[in-house]
Amino acid sequence: MRLYGDRASSNTRRVLALARHLKLDVEFTFVNLFVGENRSPWYLALNPNGTIPTFKDGDVVLFEASAIMIYLAECAGPAGSALWPSGTARFEVLKWMFWAAEHFRRGPAVLIDERFIHRLQGRDENPVRVADAQTSVRRYADVLNRYLVGRAFVVGDTPTLADIDLAAPFSHVLRTRAPFDDYPNLVAWHMRLLDAIPSWRTTGEDLEQRIVAIEASFAS
């Protein structure tokens, strides 16, 4: 099994954290977006979107981090089943995974472009896009904050793939300045996830180290 990505990417992090948590033997190939490796023919042959992460296991080639996560959970036996439950709980997990992609992560994705990528490229942030993204972040953070009242995790008492999908935007909060701190249940839930899934914490540390290297490469 091989994962293609960058430790600085929150979408790559979701997969790396899960693979580490499940103790799966997944090799890693670094794909440097900043020099256009994701646009090279060999990479586009694997993933025509040119996005990271991409995953390969024999003939199985997947893009979309959530699809990769489900594949890994299904490979991993009981530890995987705990994060990817069967029955009606699975539909709850899927519901939040889709919601994370369609709503919760969209504002932060704009903010990382505007406040990090554009800054590296020497461009100013676009105030209209930033304001719209912040409105979106607040709208959905409020939904999740209210949902989490009296709940340890989004589905049941232990983490599932849905929690990892929802936690991804916390990866770049130092850069996006997404106002998650205004939502106390969200902050407490994220702390519980860091404790319950130690690889979520360690991949967060790896990500910050890689960000330092990226910033340095642009400064030189």
Ligand X SMILES: N[C@@H](CCC(=O)N[C@@H](CS)C(=O)NCC(=O)O)C(=O)O
Contact residues for ligand X (CB under 6 A)?
9-11, 33, 38, 50-53, 64-65
From the CB of 180, what's the least distance to ligand X, in Å?
18
From 194, 181, 134, 189, select the one nearest 157 (Cα to Cα): 189
From 58, 47, 40, select the one nearest 4 (Cα to Cα): 47
From the CB of 165, what's the least distance to ligand X, in Å?
9
Nearer to ligand X, 68 or 186 (CB): 68
How many CA atoms, within 13 angstroms, populate the side-chain half-sphere of residue 50? 10
From the CB of 134, what's the least distance to ligand X, in Å?
20
Nearer to ligand X, 22 or 62 (CB): 62
Nearer to ligand X, 38 or 203 (CB): 38
Kindly report the backbone phi and psi dihedral angles of residue 55, in degrees, each rounded to the nearest multiple of 5, phi listed first: -135, 145
From the CB of 166, what's the least distance to ligand X, in Å?
13
Nearer to ligand X, 151 or 218 (CB): 218
C-alpha torsion 202→207→212→218, nearest 10: 170
Q: How far apart are CA 164 and CA 18, in angstroms?
A: 8
